[in-house]
Amino acid sequence: MATLRDVALRAKVSVSTVSRVINNEPRVRKKTREKVEAAILELSYLPNRTAQRLRSLNAKNKLIGLVLPDIQNPFYVDVVRGVEECAYEYNFAVMIGNFAQDERKEKMYLDVLQSESVDGLIVAPSHGRDQHIARVMENGYTVVCIDRGLIGMEVDIVKVNNEAGAFGAIEYLIGLGHTRIAHITGHPDIPTTAERVAGYERAMAKYGVEVDPELIKSSNSDYQSGASLMRELLELPNPPTAVFTANNLLTLGALKTIHESERTIPDDISVVGFDDMYWSMSLNPPLTAVRQSGYEIGRKAAELLLKRLADPHRPAVSLVLDTELIVRQSCKPR
């Protein structure tokens, strides 16, 4: 591949001048610039980003890292879209690491991205006391957290009001006359889990509905867990009449179990899921869900990161977006 030097030789100018041209610096005579541009075209020269990055310490790398817990989860796919679209507009490239809820893998990706000298990172911490991310911040990297905060750290956060979202879902179910409302939650260490449980409990308390501890189930935040926890609930001597699932994957898993058990929704059991998907209305039945826009979260996070890159001394911001209850047909009055 052609280098700066090749272009310089071809255009009969110095390396410095070519560098100035590709960086759009004003101090280049029009004629020179044209000569250089011609040479660039002829050699189909591409700046070597590796060398650029090695050399410059300013935010010129045009690369941001995105570290996600689970790319299988459609929610995070939306986040990717949001981040990417914003980054693209500003000519930033995005490097994605998917750690699949595996903390070792998370650390590995964090290390790799630091080694790549990214300008900044957008991360969904595996839990609130994520040491690895704290370490990254100590190393001077700009970080924006999504979905989950970081305890005791001054850091930009974009998330959703999980407590209120869950509260709304439960309130809705209670309004339909349900009292035996189960909650399939995510992994207990994930901050959003606690927030969603809190919303559940607050709603139950507000309407004086007793919380039966055996109706709150948790293990992991994945499809398998959703399926198996739902099975446990259905096998209870006094099974729930409604279930609130704490994320996408859990919802899908729970639906699978319910369908396998030959029960029908919402006649036998009502379902509200956290996380909406664009194809939720094609589910059986069209799913009533608490929508949080992954796209919006991703986009805002990227904007925040880019802004902070421009002004590192801006105080940390905590952006809490609202959720919306999308009522479809998976719930029925009791």
Partner DNA sequence: GTATGGGATGGGAACGTTCCCATGGAAACG
Partner DNA sequence: CGTTTCCATGGGAACGTTCCCATCCCATAC
Sign of the torsion formed by the C-alpha atoms of 234, 238, 242 and 247: negative
* From 27, 213, 278, 315, residue interacting with a copy of itself (rule: CB under 8 A): 278
332 scored as a contact of a copy of itself (CB under 8 A): no
22 is a contact residue toward DNA (CB under 7 A): yes
Residue 117 CB, nearest approach to DNA (Å): 8
Q: What CA–CA distance (Å, rounded) separates 228 from 246?
A: 14
**Candidates 5-13, 31-39, 49-57, 155-163 — which segment interacts with a copy of itself by CB under 8 A?**
49-57
Q: Which pair of tokens denotes residue 45?
A: 């020269």
Q: In the bound complex, what is the minimum distance in angstroms from residue 73's beta carbon to a copy of itself?
A: 9
- Cβ at position 78, least distance to a copy of itself in Å: 8
CB atoms within 10 A of CB 278: 8
- By CB under 8 A, is residue 219 in contact with a copy of itself? no
Transcribe 290-323 into DSSP letters.
EE--HHHHHHHHHHHHHHHHH-TTSPP-EEEEPP
- Answer yes or no: are the C-beta atoms of 250 and 244 closer than 8 Å: no
Binding test (CB under 8 A) with a copy of itself, winner from 10, 39, 75, 109? 109
Q: How far is the CB of 16 from DNA (least distance, A)?
A: 4
By the 8 A CB rule, do 256 and 220 touch? no
If binding is defined by CB under 7 A, does position 131 make contact with DNA? no
Q: State the minimum distance, in angstroms, from the CB of residue 91 to a copy of itself.
A: 9
294 lies in the site for a copy of itself, by CB under 8 A: no
In angstroms, what is the minimal distance from the CB of 22 to DNA?
6
Residue 231, judged by CB atoms within 10 A of its CB (0-12, 13-18, 19+), counts as middle
Would you count residue 164 as binding a copy of itself (CB under 8 A)?
A: no
Residue 282 binds: one of DNA, a copy of itself, none (C-beta under 5 to 8 A by kind): a copy of itself
Tell which one of 281, 309, 319, 326 touches a copy of itself (CB under 8 A): 281
The CA distance from 165 to 167, in Å, is 5
Q: 213 touches which of DNA, a copy of itself, none (CB within 5 to 8 A by kind)?
A: none
**Residue 38 or 93 having the CB closest to a copy of itself:** 93
Looking at beta carbons, which pairs linking 200-207 to residues 24 or more positions away fall under 8 Å?
200/166, 200/167, 200/170, 200/244, 202/163, 202/167, 203/166, 203/167, 203/168, 203/169, 203/170, 203/171, 203/174, 204/170, 204/174, 206/171, 207/171, 207/174
Handedness of CA 189, 193, 195, 200 (dihedral sign): negative
Angle between helices 162-175 and 191-206 (to 10 degrees): 40
Minimum distance from residue 35 beta carbon to DNA (Å): 8
104 near DNA (CB under 7 A):
no
Beta bridge partners of 217: 184
Q: Binding pattern to a copy of itself, positions 55-94, x when CB under 8 A?
A: ----------------xx-x--x--xx--x---x----xx
Q: Is residue 246 involved in binding a copy of itself (CB under 8 A)? A: no
Q: Per this entry, what is the length of the chain?
A: 334
C-alpha separations of 321 from 91, 247, 291, 297, 299 in Å: 26, 17, 11, 8, 12
Binding site for DNA (CB under 7 A): 1, 3-5, 12-17, 19-20, 22-23, 26-29, 31-33, 45-48, 51-52, 54-56, 58, 60
Binding site for a copy of itself (CB under 8 A): 1, 44, 46-51, 53-54, 71-72, 74, 77, 80-81, 84, 88, 93-98, 105, 108-109, 111-112, 114-117, 135, 139-140, 223, 252, 255-256, 259, 278-279, 281-286
